[in-house]
Amino acid sequence: MGAFGVGVIGCGMISGNHFHALSKLDNAVLRAVCDIDEERLNQAMAEQGVPGCADWRQLIARPDIDAVHICVPHYLHAEISIAALRAGKHVLCEKPMGVSLAEAQAMRDAARETGRTLTVCFQNRYNGASKRMKEVIEEGGLGQLQGGSAFVAWNRAEPYYTKSPWRGAWKTEGGSVLINQAIHTLDLLRYLAGDLQLRGCTMSAKRLGETIETEDTCDMLLTDRRGGRYLFYASNCFVSNLPVQMHLIFERGEMHLDGPRLTIKAQGETQTEDYTTALAVGKDYWGSGHGPFIADFYRRLAAGEGPFITPEDALQTTQLMEQAYLDSMQTRRRPG
Ligand SMILES: NC(=O)c1ccc[n+]([C@@H]2O[C@H](COP(=O)([O-])OP(=O)(O)OC[C@H]3O[C@@H](n4cnc5c(N)ncnc54)[C@H](O)[C@@H]3O)[C@@H](O)[C@H]2O)c1
């Protein structure tokens, strides 16, 4: 079989990570790009040396395209994913999987009905430290997980929102710090700790209330099936972008993630492993996971295997996220 023909819809900030990852693959080749912004479209066409169009419907109708990468604002993820699946394309959608559980379910159902592959870009699961944490948990040597915490302190200032007006609006972004930035950490915590139940969530716009209608700060209490407790805090109000921190407490040890560094405490010994990798492209807080994630997507497609991050799995992160937004309505109203 020849290489998969690929189309990228949305040529904004994150598209560079997708173009770069695709340029390294033998089994996938970029065939076309799409953006409604003429300047961005022309730039992507010139840099990637492929044709382009402003209408995504035109792109998904191309017979030389087998898979599409969806890199557009959140409110378009479900509509374009579903149409692309129905047009017979495999879909790699940037996070989040829809702005609501209903949208995520419709995306999953479309993948089931069409038999096409759908995955969602939670590339941080491919970080070396994330993989090591999962491995340690599955080995079971630290005993049962008893709880943990996750901390995301980042900085998104006014221009980040004013230059891309889809951000900071309920209708188009669907939220802010949780759905856009901290969703990766919520997904990673869910991936490591298993099913999590929301016990309570508070959201507020502490710094950007004049600019955005959504939240810049979010905190939650979650519990796992055994009653283990997890604190989750995320804010875009910090002065820089701190490495994501996660603590997991086990019966016989602890793990502490500090960006790419993982410290494991077990049997009286403390060991730190550094999984720092050189950034190929993009912002440091996006990490280096796009390359391995996209490579794995096409390796599995070629092998006839399902995606590592299945629609059913990704959907659970959207479900938890939606519960958090609904719960926080007690303190801050989410219209629509
Ligand atoms: N995985 C990650 O770490 C990561 C990091 C950043 C962004 N993202 C995600 O990537 C997606 C895009 O984010 P971004 O930061 O690149 O945003 P952006 O605003 O920089 O780019 C979005 C692009 O989509 C285009 N667009 C809008 N409507 C369109 C339409 N109908 N048809 C075609 N193109 C259209 C815009 O013109 C723009 O060029 C979002 O889902 C975001 O959450 C993921």
- Domains of the chain by residue range: 4-123+294-306, 124-276+314-328
Look up the CATH number of domain 124-276+314-328: 3.30.360.10
Inter-residue contact 290 to 166 (CB < 8 Å): no
Inter-residue contact 30 to 4 (CB < 8 Å): no
Which of 8, 9, 13, 236 is the best mutation target for the ligand 1 pocket, counting ligand atoms within 8 Å of the beta carbon and taking the most? 13
Q: What is the pLDDT of residue 282?
A: 80
Average the pLDDT over each of 46-60, 72-86, 249-263, 274-288 and give the range with the smallest value: 274-288
The answer to whether the 4-123+294-306 and 124-276+314-328 domains have the same CATH topology is no
Q: How confident is the model at residue 102 (pLDDT cuts 50, 70, 90)?
A: very high
Give the distance (Å) from ligand 1 centre to CA of residue 68.
Answer: 14
Q: Flag whether pLDDT at 336 surpasses 70.
A: no
The superfamily in CATH containing domain 4-123+294-306 is NAD(P)-binding Rossmann-like Domain (3.40.50.720)
Nearest CA to ligand 1 atom 15: 13
Average the pLDDT over each of 101-105, 265-269, 283-287 and give the range with the smallest value: 283-287
Q: Is the CB of 284 under 6 A from ligand 1?
A: no
Q: Flag whether pLDDT at 333 surpasses 60.
A: no
Q: What are phi and psi of 142, to 5 degrees?
A: -85, 0
Q: What is the mean pLDDT of residues 184-213?
A: 96
Report the percentage of the chain scoring pLDDT > 70: 97
Distance separating alpha carbons of residues 244 and 258, to the nearest angstrom: 6
Closest CA to 298 of 32, 26, 11: 26
Q: What is the mean pLDDT of residues 30-54?
A: 98
